[in-house]
Amino acid sequence: MWVADNWKDYELLDCSGGEKLERWGKYTLVRPDPQAIWTTPREHPGWRNCQGRYLRSSTGGGRWEKDRLPQSWQISYKDLVFNVKPMNFKHTGIFPEQASNWDYAREKIAGAGRQINVLNLFAYTGAATVACAKAGASVCHVDAAKGMVNWARENARTSGLENSPIRWIVDDCIKFVQREIRRGRQYDAIIMDPPSYGRGPTGEIWKLEESLFDFVTLCADLMSEEPLFVIVNSYTTGLSASTLTYIVESVFSKRFGGSARSEELGLPVTASGLYLPCGAACRWECMR
């Protein structure tokens, strides 16, 4: 498991009964988590005195109880500053378990000894974009939601990167990759965080299990002659880490050499000393 254990402004305090108790800066939140299927005593006072709680509805979706929360606030990870807020469907704009991937990407970029061009697909609010730019990379940030791209711009600004070489693209990721291939563009590193399910601009259905291999294959046509790394994230239940390795090895290793490794992503739980699994990631790197 790759564990994000370098946080100071975020802490997973406890988890039990399908929920997790988290500290986001000076605010505590309770949010649903499908992995926390155990039931243990809720001894931490935050369970009773949290500032925000997301309540699931029996008919789907849910709602926030957040009267004691500001509209938004900031948290830091090392020298990165992110803007967080309670969103629809329990999210806050940051997936803290991804910090281990941010650290990996920054280390690879800093150690490359050359200018690195990164493509971040399904880039959401841009935490990976900000991390790569902070390490000195040029980044192309792509997401289909204009609001998420604007949020990512704000994260770049609060991290002191408003003048960094970042391209902000609002577009369907598949269509964008196809156009970049036709343009002859190339990237040294690719990061992708594709959804489990979605629809394209003309109604095309995306299901990760059915679409991921073809999309990864398509993205391989964008790699430069000196590829550095690829990160593929998955939060799809039932899609194992080993499956990600097989896909990435079958595409990138076959074409460029190198090797892929996949692990669960995890967060340390303060109350138990154990680790909560939070999806999976595959990292491929070239050995040239």
Beta bridge partners of 76: 81
Q: Residue 21 to residues 45, 151, 272: CA-CA distances in angstroms?
A: 10, 25, 12
Whether residues 68 and 155 fall in one domain? no
Of 54, 70, 90, the domain-final residue: 90
Contact in structure between 43 and 67 (CB atoms under 8 Å): no
pLDDT tens, N- to C-terminus, the chain (288 residues): 999 999 999 999 999 999 999 999 999 999 999 999 999 999 999 999 999 999 988 777 899 998 899 999 999 999 999 999 999 889 999 999 999 999 999 999 999 999 999 999 999 999 999 999 999 999 999 999 999 999 999 999 999 999 999 999 999 999 999 999 999 999 999 999 998 777 666 666 667 778 899 999 999 999 999 999 999 999 887 788 999 999 999 999 999 999 999 999 999 999 999 999 999 999 999 876
Of 90, 110, 128, the domain-final residue: 90
Write out the residue range of the structural domain in which residue 20 sits. 2-90
Contact in structure between 258 and 248 (CB atoms under 8 Å): no
- Cα–Cα distance for residue pair 23/163, rounded to 1 Å: 31
Whether residues 184 and 46 fall in one domain? no
Residue 132: give its domain's CATH number. 3.40.50.150
Whether residues 260 and 123 fall in one domain? yes
- The predicted pLDDT at position 57 comes to 84
Whether residues 201 and 59 fall in one domain? no
Number of separate domains in the chain: 2
- The predicted pLDDT at position 133 comes to 98
Of 90, 125, 156, the domain-final residue: 90
Angle between helices 99-111 and 127-134 (to 10 degrees): 30
Annotate 10-23 with b (16+ C-beta within 10 A) or e (fewer): bbbbbbbeebbbbb
Whether residues 132 and 109 fall in one domain? yes
Ranges of H-type helices in the chain:
46-49, 99-111, 127-134, 146-158, 173-183, 208-220, 241-248, 254-256
